Amino acid sequence: MRRGCSYHGLNFNVDMDLAPWARINPCGLGVVMTQMNDLLAEPVTVQEVSERLADILTVKLGYNGHLVEGQHPLLTGR
């Protein structure tokens, strides 16, 4: 992060088909991809993760508000 911008990107695998990740070497790190719902005791939705992440980033980056649109195709998986 520099001046409130990510120059690399940010990704959370929440609940998805991870098969495509087996064919690539993400960022050249040689790591196995996983997803939140395989690691958490209770499953979460993309909407829940989006809202919580927005809350945290708003505070940590010093902003005073945000809006997470619940019907955006990237949030609903449609």
Residue 35's pLDDT is what? 93
User: pTM for this one?
Assistant: 0.64
Structure-block tokens of residue 21: 């990740």
Banded pLDDT at 77 (limits 50, 70, 90): low
Which residue in the list 10, 22, 27, 29 is annotated as catalytic? 27
State the Cα–Cα distance between residues 72 and 57, nearest whole angstrom. 19
What pLDDT, on the 0 to 100 scale, is given for residue 24?
87
pLDDT, tens digit (0-9, with 9 covering 90-100), for 29-68: 888 889 999 999 999 999 999 889 888 888 888 877 766 6
How would you classify residue 34: left for phi > 0, otherwise alpha for psi between -120 and 50, otherwise beta?
A: beta
pLDDT for the residue numbered 61:
80
Where along the chain do its domains lie?
Answer: 19-76
Q: Is 5 a catalytic residue?
A: no
